[in-house]
Structure 1
Amino acid sequence: MKLTYNIKIIRVGKIKNKYFYNASKLYFDRIKNICNIKEIIIKEVKAKNFSTIINQEGKNIINKIDKKDFIILLDEKGKLFNSIEFSKVIDNICTQQKIPCFIIGGSYGNSQQIKNKADLLISLSPLTFCHELAYVVLLEQIYRSLTIIIGHPYHNE
């Protein structure tokens, strides 16, 4: 079943580890079979000052946000959801004609400007993940959520 939903992911940096790349490609392709998904990769900023990196990457991310985007920022202090709750969040956003726009910041985190702009802060876990692994986990959870929405048996509960 193909949904008319649109999902957008903005993330900083390319996936350099081949295992993370292969896993992310697997779930990205599975998601494409269910709905439209767009990915925007922001180039990592090179600077000696962490604050400069975070702020410039933040500006670059904000330049890629559209008016229809419902901004969901991955943040360690964000709200935790189980998979059923997460699927309801995605479903509710999409049925309101908004586009869930997931943002994964770079290695040093997100600027306060992005945090202030976000409609929702979510955490994938109380644990901290490298941003490449966070991307894979996010894709798997988006895929799981979509299968819950369409009634596919991927999610066993």
Structure 2
Amino acid sequence: MVKERNVLRVAAYAVCVVDERILLARWVAPDGGRHWTLPGGGMEHGEDPYLTVIREVAEETGYTVEPAALLGVHSRVRHDPGALGRGTSFHGVRLVYEGRLTGGGLRNETDGSTDLAAWHPLADVPGLDRVELVDRGLALWRERPADGHLRAAEGPE
């Protein structure tokens, strides 16, 4: 029997809300699908997550941000059975910050994992084609749990 391969990815994201609007980036999935997500992404080896979120927001949206607060951590594991019996267990650890805009201007990323950056009214978020991280990030932003962990039942991944 072939053993499952374990993959760990640590990433940092920002919840940027101004005037009841949230800044989102449109992620281009490997299958070509497009889904709104929080701006942010994977840490480079040796990089501090605080600096990761600053770099990633700038790359994906054109804005400079100051991570104003660490809202929490979202951790999820998913399994892909793979081919020939060698599956993958993917563990994503996402640090979610509140981002305060300090400069820059809205622009789209080129040659990256996102293709569009835009402001969306908070009231419109439920109708967007989005990844679950948007909902988790907004819940952390609204609830601000002292331990950074949401107690509400986790919805579908």
Which bin holds the TM-score, normalised by the shorter protein?
Answer: under 0.3
What TM-score comes out, normalization by structure 2 length? 0.28
Which structure would you say has the larger Rg?
A: 2
Which structure has more helix as a fraction of its residues? Answer: 1
What TM-score comes out, normalization by structure 1 length? 0.28
